[in-house]
Amino acid sequence: MADRIPKAKNNGLTNRSHLRLVPSTSRATVLDLLPPGSFATLENQPNDLPPFQVINCKGGRCLVRQQAWGRFVQWEVAHHRLKSA
């Protein structure tokens, strides 16, 4: 009966772990923590433009808005372009 049970294919893999650590080639700069509800300014933002309200930051991108734009108008900006106000 044991002869009829198919063996799992190994595909050339061994039983060892295949986790490979890749050395980091460049160090990322430390970014300001921009929690939702906080305010931030853009690099080179004019002085007469009020700060943007941060809606959400994820994966290096932030959704921001101006309070005068309304609740459903948002702008996606790269996190590195923002600075906490």
Number of domain units in the chain? 1
3 against 34, higher pLDDT? 34
Query: pLDDT averaged over the chain?
Result: 78
Q: Is residue 23 pLDDT above 70, yes or no?
A: no
pLDDT of residue 8: 55
pTM of the model: 0.60
Domain hosting residue 47, numbered range: 2-84
What average pLDDT does range 16-22 have in this prediction? 62
29: tokens are 């700069």
